[in-house]
């Protein structure tokens, strides 16, 4: 018993237990994350799509991303980014980039839907990553109230509470979300384009993403029932408008009053 007690008090015992606990925690997290991602991303591609996508990639993307998409000084490696990243970046016209800059800007898409899927199929063969989301999470029929709460907690600090967008540092910005398709909203959440963090299914479940999409659809369709939106940037623009109107009234009254006196 004394020998066992001495072994338990060994100075490395606590470190060994800590390492074992971290390994178990990491393993469980990896399993849960994989299960959740598989729940919302089950799209499969054919070998022919991947083959055609490789041809498109070599002709249009390899200049920056390198042959085999291994990356160069002008573009990162695409191994493991997943089909969803290609669908978002290429589908919104952000890729191929028009010019180097602090942030890829949206522009008319260079490839049609079939070509985009072929590029996505090729990149998906380079490593595991988020897949194209299932249609059931893109129908816009979730809970807008829950989605609004999730959006304000996770997204409003950059995109504005009304999803009107906002400025970031070093010439970057969070774009307005009006007019963005539901599939691109979902794909942005799971891939984290530009400065956006990745919200995998362990952070926000597929149902939660569906609720956020429903909230964004709702506020876009309802417009501005209270009157002029004033950019939807909050009390700054509203206070400036009120100050300008009040100051104009005061100046006008002063001019009228002095003209009456003379």
Contact indicator for 146, 157 with CB cutoff of 8 Å: no
- Packing angle between helix 113-124 and helix 47-60, nearest 10 degrees? 100
Task: Please indicate if the annotation marks 221 as binding a ligand.
Answer: no
Task: Please indicate if the annotation marks 158 as binding a ligand.
Answer: yes
Task: Please indicate if the annotation marks 155 as binding a ligand.
Answer: yes
Task: Please indicate if the annotation marks 61 as binding a ligand.
Answer: yes
Residue 96 preceded by cis peptide, ω within 30 = yes
Task: Please indicate if the annotation marks 10 as binding a ligand.
Answer: no
Q: What is the DSSP letter of 202?
A: T
Q: How many helices (H) and strands (E) does the chain have?
A: 11, 2
**How big is the CA angle at 131 (ends 155 and 110), to the nearest 5 degrees?**
85
Distance separating alpha carbons of residues 54 and 234, to the nearest angstrom: 47
How far CA 153 is from CA of 37, 159, 160, 161, in Å, comes to 22, 11, 11, 10
Contact indicator for 85, 132 with CB cutoff of 8 Å: no
Distance separating alpha carbons of residues 127 and 217, to the nearest angstrom: 33
Task: Please indicate if the annotation marks 159 as binding a ligand.
Answer: yes
Pick out the residues of the known binding site for heme c: 61, 64-65, 155, 158-159
- Binding-site residues sit at 61, 64-65, 155, 158-159
């Amino acid at each position: 018993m004394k020998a066992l007690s001495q072994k338990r008090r060994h100075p490395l015992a606590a470190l060994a237990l800590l390492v074992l606990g971290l390994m178990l925690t990491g393993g469980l997290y990896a399993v849960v994350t994989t299960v959740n991602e598989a729940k919302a991303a089950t799209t499969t591609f054919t070998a022919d799509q991947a083959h055609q996508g490789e041809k498109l990639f070599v002709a249009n993307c390899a200049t920056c991303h390198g042959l085999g998409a291994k990356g160069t000084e002008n573009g990162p490696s695409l191994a493991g980014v997943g089909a969803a990243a290609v669908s978002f970046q290429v589908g919104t016209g952000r890729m191929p980039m028009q010019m180097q800059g602090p942030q890829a800007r949206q522009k008319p898409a260079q490839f049609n839907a079939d070509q985009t899927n072929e590029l996505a199929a090729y990149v998906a063969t380079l490593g595991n990553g988020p897949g194209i989301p299932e249609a059931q999470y893109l129908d816009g029929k979730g809970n807008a109230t829950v989605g609004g709460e999730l959006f304000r907690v996770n997204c409003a600090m950059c995109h504005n509470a009304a999803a009107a967008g906002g400025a970031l540092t070093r010439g970057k910005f969070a774009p307005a979300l009006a007019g963005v398709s539901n599939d691109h909203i979902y794909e942005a959440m799971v891939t984290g384009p530009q400065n956006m963090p990745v919200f995998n299914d362990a952070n926000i479940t597929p149902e939660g993403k569906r609720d956020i999409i429903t909230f964004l659809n709702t506020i876009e369709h309802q417009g501005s029932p209270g009157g002029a939106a004033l950019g939807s940037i909050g009390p700054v623009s509203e206070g400036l408008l009120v100050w300008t109107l009040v100051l104009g009234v005061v100046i006008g009254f002063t001019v009228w009053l002095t003209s009456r006196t003379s």
